[in-house]
């Protein structure tokens, strides 16, 4: 549910980083975590306290400060890259010593280019109707058998002067990603030995990305994700040597 990919491996949702209190990784988990192999990652979410606390943060990465992409050599323009990640968290008491609240919002906005050579027909005459659009149109017009569908689709092809190494076109269509994530946690202290916990996570995103070679931004793939996770638990510690957790989600 959380951190699942959208189109091209880009996470569609993620847990806000300032909500993480602690975590542990088990590379060989015991049977109580199921029968599948791999790693189990347990994450503890922060809680509110008797004093109000919070944070704000912002991270940016962009093409103005990055080195040029290896697949984006000069003299072509530098491919787009502008990554924004920002968020805010806050926590505190609702009822002192009893009821506490904590929340964290985190968002991503990014634009990432996809520079590369695309093998498409050229837009100028070269005497070959198999590789030249004007020559193909001239041939089918002379034979009076031009496809109306093809004539409409031709308008969606970018102009290719045929100046690439083998007539390819240098093309760069941008990926766009909008992601919003939030988590809210409530803690209620029944007693020194018993606590109730409730959490709610919401992740919402729209990704428009190039996951195969396309010649027009209209053909980019799009993924819309809206993930919601609700959970609750009762943590009971009757003695210093005994604890029990009951969780639902």
The domain segmentation of the chain, as residue ranges, is: 17-114+176-248
Q: What pLDDT, on a 0 to 100 scale, did the predictor assign at position 73?
A: 84
Burial class (CB in 10 A: 0-12, 13-18, 19+), 99: middle
Q: What pLDDT, on a 0 to 100 scale, did the predictor assign at position 68?
A: 87
* Residue with the two structure tokens 């390819």: 168
Sequential DSSP letters for the chain: --S-B-SSS-BS----GGGEEEEEEESS--GGG-S--S-EEEEEEP---SS-EEEEEEEEEETTTSPPPTTS-TTSPPPPEEEEEEEEEEEEEEETTTEEEEEEEEEEEEEE--EEEE---BSS--S-TTTBHHHHHHHHHHTT---HHHHHHHTTSPP--S-STTS-EEEEPPEEEEEEEEEEEEEEEEETTEEEEEEEEEEEEEEEE-SS--SSGGG-EEEEEEEEEEEEEEEEEEETTEEEEEEE-
How wide is the angle at C-alpha 67 spanned by C-alphas 170 and 208, nearest 5°?
A: 55
Q: What pLDDT, on a 0 to 100 scale, did the predictor assign at position 164?
A: 77
Rounded to two decimals, the pTM is 0.85
Per-residue pLDDT tens digits for 81-137: 999 999 999 999 999 999 999 999 999 999 999 998 888 899 999 888 988 999 999
With a cut of 70, list the residues of the chain below it in pLDDT. none
């Amino acid at each position: 549910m959380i951190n699942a990919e959208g189109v091209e491996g880009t996470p569609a949702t993620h847990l806000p980083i300032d909500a993480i209190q602690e975590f542990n990784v088990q590379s060989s988990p015991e049977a109580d975590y199921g029968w599948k192999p791999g790693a189990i990652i347990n994450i503890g979410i922060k809680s509110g306290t008797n004093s109000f606390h919070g944070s704000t943060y912002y991270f940016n990465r962009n093409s103005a400060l990055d080195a040029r992409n290896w697949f984006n050599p000069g003299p072509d323009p530098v491919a787009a890259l502008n990554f924004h990640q920002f968020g805010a968290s806050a926590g505190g008491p609702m009822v002192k010593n009893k009821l506490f609240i904590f929340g964290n919002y985190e968002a991503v906005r990014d634009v990432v280019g996809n520079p590369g050579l695309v093998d498409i027909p050229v837009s100028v005459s070269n005497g070959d109707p198999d590789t030249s659009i004007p020559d193909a149109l001239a041939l089918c017009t002379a034979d009076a058998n031009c496809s109306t569908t093809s004539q409409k689709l031709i308008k969606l092809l970018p102009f290719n002067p045929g100046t690439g190494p083998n007539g390819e076109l240098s093309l760069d269509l941008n990926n766009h990603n909008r992601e919003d994530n939030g988590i809210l946690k409530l803690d209620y202290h029944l007693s020194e030995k018993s606590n109730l916990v409730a959490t709610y996570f919401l992740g919402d995103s729209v990704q428009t990305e190039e996951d195969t070679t396309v010649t027009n931004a209209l053909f980019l793939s799009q993924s819309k994700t809206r993930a919601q996770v609700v959970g609750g638990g009762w943590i009971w510690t009757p003695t210093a040597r005994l604890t029990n957790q009951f969780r639902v989600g």
